[in-house]
Amino acid sequence: MTCNGNRSEICGGSNRINLYEFGLKDPEPPVPNGWVSQGCYVDSVAQRTLQFGGVVQGAMTNTKCNAACEAAGYTLAGTEYAGECYCDNQLRNGGGPAPDGNAGCDMACNGNATDFCGGSNRLNLFNLFGSSTPNETPTPTGTVPSETATRTNTATATATGLPDGFEYKGCWVDGPGFRIMNFQQPDDQQMTIASCSNRCADAGYKIAGMEYSYQCFCDNVIRQGGSLASDDTQCDMNCAGAAAEKCGGADRLSIWATGELTVVQKPKPQSTDLPGNWKYQGCITDPIDNRVFPWQIVDKTNNSATSCLSKCAEYGYMAAGIEYGEECYCGDLDGVEASGALEVAETECQISCPGNAEALCGGNNRLTWYKWEDDPIYVWNYPSGNAAGEYRFLVGGPVVPLITQPAINGKISLLEKKGTGPPNSTGAYEFDPSLADDIFSTFREMQGITTDIFCAAGLTMPDKAGRQINIGGWSLDSTFGVRIYTPDGVLGVNGTNDWQENVNEIRLQAGRWYPTGMVMANGSMLIVGGQSGSNGPPVPSMEILPKAGGIKYADYLERTDPFNLYPFLVVLPSGGIFILYYNEARILDEVTLDTIKTLPNVPGAVNNPAAGRTYPYEGTQVLLPQHAPYSDPLEVLVCGGASPNPTWGLDNCVSTAPDATNPKWTIERMPSRRVISCMATLPDGTFLILNGAEIGEAGFGLADRPNYNALLYDPTKPVNHRISIMANTTIARLYHSEAVLMDDGRILVSGSDPQDPDWPEEYRLEVFMPPYRLSGAPIPTFTITDKDWENNGTYAFQITSGTTGAIRVSLLGSESSTHGSSMGARVLFPDVSCNGGSCVVTAPPGPYVCPPGWYRMFVLDGPTPSHATWVRIGGDPGELGNWPNTPSFQPLPGM
């Protein structure tokens, strides 16, 4: 926030301060004789316990405040909020000892760190001569500081240097107990009519008010039904910086403004004309150390019940509150009880809304609050028993995999850090789930990786061997690395092939750490983004493998660094390439890679448009199912992410159809905040969201509060009714955890490498058993001979067990899971027809609906899927089977 005394400087923000330290302090004047501490007293911005501001030079101490008040003729002095001084001869507005004793007077004086100067809405109160503290009585006549506030009855002088159109509007009553102008500026011992008026005009206000010689107030309306004083001479104090001008008086404002004044009546809570199904609930306390509602939005100019509640509802929150006039809070109903909030009198919510001067927007630590009634914004499902799924321990592993990638031989590649990982690690293992009962046989240690795959990208190539490729890495040569593995062997029998790598023969054009890869419609591979090694500068560019031309610079990747790593890439049915990075998205031309369409920014947190969806604010992304005849627009779903300052996980999913004429983002609440999560595509067209944390971001030691439960997202249900809360695990899965679908329909859950003493590295492998594997229904089986499909071709298969009443086929693209990104994942439901057990499936059209590559074919009997058979669709149009034709990568599978 800009300083209201110098708009070229920053003066903190919402719940944030700019902190400075000054090594030497001026010596304090001696404590005036006779001042006695009375303890900690309550105070309120709108209803002051002590009415008059004390004039203190330099940093605040209790000694200085007491001296200033005594010089002004007052017998009561109080310090507040570390640097404020107030004076009076009586207690006003019901002020008295704080109910929590001295606990709230907890702020050190900014001029004496060894003493307390009040707190938030708390005064350290002192009484001159130690006499009894007077209760609220008519104010006795007293003197005011002779240097700054001399009272006379001389008519107001004509001011010069005013903003255009400003003219005198009279002497107005201001209190006691209320303010008719909301926005007080810093006290100014050199204040003039022109300086206050220009300060207000520069800040965008039309009205300026001067009070007590050195106080300046700004606003665009006169509030609280304000009225003119009975006599203009009641504004009788000379301006602190111009003795010939009048700057208000005690509880009196000299008002200067442009145009006609608008007077609004005393505000009350807005209980009618509310958006949606919102209902007013009353005024409650808001404990500062345990907020009722967590998401805070600060709007100094337009906050109102209408604007606040509309924002909260848009992001799925069904409870909201407004505080301090300008603060809007969103959350859930259980926050009221969990925070210990108490219902209080409506009069304690006494601050008007800046966006609706006739409505109340809470008070000091007081919420004017509302809840959504009747038809709920969202409904989460709570299945139980087998319907909730189940986590099961599978086997202890030799590796914490950073990348997990199913292979066409039914096994799963587990890739870890090499060089920066455990000693003697080769960086690669192959996991055979059919041997999971034998820890000594289920993992095959693999050789051939010569650089560090730490935070690389992975794909399955569309060549006839289904080779896996790994791209990029941690530093130096690793960032240029291209590593290839040809799957061999079958379940239960080890293969013999290893990984192949030689950066002197095949390397990327630009070194990349945290890149993304995608098989394009033409069968080539697009590699995007990253950094040039460990926390190095950005690599805001794209390149194609096999090498085709040079590097394509992308200014938007440089502009959004470092929040765009592992961007999400998708081949669209329109022929374009969708890319989502940080909180932006666009469509690229598949040939030139130029932008052909920019989408609206991706929604993040209700209070922060700077929230992101890609590393390090890591969310997770999938494509929603495509169904024959594939006429509906393809939709992208992204769940979770993080919002900075403070770094909280996002508690929503967003989806859009990029090819739509005017794509818009749909927001759906999740039951908890999630960052560094994973999302696995299931053969029935649902998606399992699991792993990750509630707070923090991606990186070592940067996240906390693990998410132990899984969520199931079912796109066949209505929006905001799609999420079911599933079974829990007991294992924290944080940074570098993964989840991939196995060929038997279970989800392999692995890893966690936060390098945090609270959350150790996790070597155990689990499986999540979806409900379809716990239902007891027989698992259908089938056979198919032709496993190399052309787009739009028809292929026969035979159901060998299971009923044939409701047969469907799903095709799931081969995936490589890392950092919330499932590169290559896609799910299609093609046309299928059956005559008894003899069925025919029609391959999807291509290559934009179904990019060339390897897919897992599942046959579903109702909700129950078979085990997978791998099929290749669309051939190898990029002729990757003949690449790379160098000695270290032989033999090649050919065409």
pLDDT tens string 618-671 = 999 999 999 999 999 999 999 999 999 889 999 999 999 999 999 999 999 999
For the ranges 120-124, 333-337, 730-734, the lowest mean pLDDT is seen at 120-124
Cα–Cα distance measured from residue 305 to residue 745, given in angstroms and rounded to the nearest whole number: 49
| pLDDT for 33 | 60
* Residue in the structure block whose two tokens are 């201001």: 174
* Cα atoms in the 13 Å half-sphere on the side-chain side of 386: 7
Q: Is the pLDDT of residue 227 over 80?
A: yes
In this prediction, residue 21 has a pLDDT band, given cuts at 50, 70 and 90, of low
**Rounded distance between C-alpha atoms, residue 469 and residue 464, angstroms:** 14
Of 188 and 16, the one with more pLDDT: 188
Q: How far apart are CA 5 and CA 8, in angstroms?
A: 9
Q: In which band, very low, low, confident or very high, does the pLDDT at 29 lie, cut at 50, 70 and 90? A: very low
Instruction: Choose between 150 and 607: higher pLDDT.
Output: 607
Query: In 10 A of CB 333, how many CB atoms?
Result: 14
Whole-number pLDDT of residue 11? 60
What token pair was written down for 689? 């969201």
Name the CA radius of gyration of the chain, rounded. 34
pLDDT in tens, 740-751: 999 999 999 999
| pLDDT at residue 762 in the model | 94
User: What is the average per-residue pLDDT within 127-145?
Assistant: 45
Look at 125-129, 588-592, 603-607 and tell me which has the smallest mean pLDDT.
Answer: 125-129
Please state, in angstroms and rounded to a whole number, the distance separating the CA atoms of residues 71 and 65. 10
Residue 386 CB neighbours (<10 A): 16
**Does residue 794 carry a pLDDT above 50?**
yes
Written as six digits, the tokens of 702 are 């940067």
The Cα 86–Cα 54 span in angstroms is 5
| pLDDT score recorded for residue 157 | 52
| C-alpha to C-alpha distance for 242 and 194, rounded to whole angstroms | 10
Nearest partner of 80 among 112, 42, 47, judged by Cα: 42
pLDDT of residue 10: 55
Three-state SS for 763-827 is CEEEEEECHHHCCCCCCCEEEECCCEECCCCEEEEEEEECCCCCEEEEEEECCEEECCEEECCCE
Task: Give the integer Cα–Cα distance in Å for 689 and 388.
Answer: 13
Percent of the chain at pLDDT exceeding 70: 92
Mean pLDDT of 104-128: 89
pLDDT at 23: 43
Q: 527-564, pLDDT tens digit by residue?
A: 999 999 887 899 999 999 999 999 999 999 999 999 99
The percent of residues in the chain predicted with pLDDT above 90, rounded, is: 77
Q: Name the band, by pLDDT with cuts 50, 70 and 90, for residue 20.
A: low
pLDDT digits (tens, 9 = 90+) for 419-455: 666 776 788 999 999 999 999 999 999 999 999 999 9
Confidence of residue 135 (pLDDT cuts 50, 70, 90): low
Q: Give the residues across from 670 on adjacent strands.
A: none
pLDDT for position 17: 66
Mean pLDDT, residues 739-763 taken together: 95
User: Cα separation of 414 and 750, whole Å?
Assistant: 9
Write down the pLDDT at residue 793. Answer: 98
> Residue 148: what pLDDT?
34
Q: Looking at residues 410-424, what average pLDDT do you find?
A: 83
Which residues lie closer than 8 Å to 269 by C-beta, 6 or more apart?
A: 280, 282, 283, 305, 346, 349, 359, 360, 368
What average pLDDT does the segment 707-712 reach? 98
CA separation for the pair 52, 55 (Å, rounded) = 10
What the block records as the tokens of 638 is 């992204």
DSSP 390-436: EEEEEEE-S---SEEEE-TTS-EEEE--SSSSSTT--SEEEE-GGGT
Strand bridging mode 788-789 / 869-873 = parallel
Residue 687: partners with Cβ closer than 8 Å, 6 or more residues away: 622, 637, 679, 680, 681, 712, 713, 715
Quickly tell me which residue has 């936060």 as its tokens: 754
Q: How many other CB atoms are found less than 10 A from the CB of residue 233?
A: 17
CA contacts within 13 A on the Cβ side of 695: 6
pLDDT value at residue 699: 92
Low-confidence winner among 141-150, 217-226, 316-325, 504-513 (lowest mean pLDDT):
141-150
- What is the reported pLDDT for 152? 39
Q: How far apart are CA 500 and CA 836, in angstroms?
A: 47
* 691-708 tens-digit pLDDT: 999 999 999 999 999 999
Mean pLDDT over all residues of the chain?
91
What are 102's two structure tokens?
């001295």
Q: How far is CA 341 from the centre of its chain?
A: 25
pLDDT in tens, 88-105: 888 888 788 888 888 889
pLDDT band for position 507 (cuts 50, 70, 90): very high
Helices (H), 332-413: 334-338
With beta carbons less than 8 A apart as the criterion, state whether 161 and 173 touch: no
Question: Distance (Å, rounded) from C-alpha 411 to C-alpha 595?
Answer: 39
Cα separation of the two ends of the chain:
62
- Element (H or E) spanning 667, and its range? strand 666-674
Give residues with Cβ within 8 angstroms of 67, minimum separation 6: 29, 32
Q: Is the pLDDT of residue 143 over 50?
A: no
